[in-house]
Structure 1
């Protein structure tokens, strides 16, 4: 499956990493590495993570890393995974 990062996700990721980097660039880079790794293996097991609490669709899952929720859509019809957003659950 092809992995696509939605512009909303990319914008929020930049904001999140910039915020973390103000305190610790090392922590921001470490988080980015963990996120990239988990996203890179989604094509092997697209339904690995729980059904999203934020969407009423079985194909939308929540990848959670360090308190950040990363919803993604497993689109089997088009053989792709779309990374939708990143946020802290307390902010939604």
Structure 2
């Protein structure tokens, strides 16, 4: 959220609005997370019409897909076991369930 707000440069009003919105969505700060492997409830996202509600963040603030997912999900996520995101040569997983190229 802060990285996207910092990119607003001279658009200080927009940067403040983005920070305020992010802090209103989530009570506490949270660590960013990797979305290279992402499992989500597509029916829930459709029911909430998230693609439509998140599109203005891309259009207005130039946020990336990763930025808007972090904005929406915040700290409310589950962490997958490492075997579901094994990277050959970077992770040590005996029986990977999903391996991706580095």
TM-score, normalised to structure 1, is: 0.36
Greater relative CO, 1 or 2 (CA 8 Å, sep 6+): 1
Q: Which has the higher helix share?
A: 2
TM-score, normalised to structure 2, is: 0.33
Q: Which has the higher strand share?
A: 1
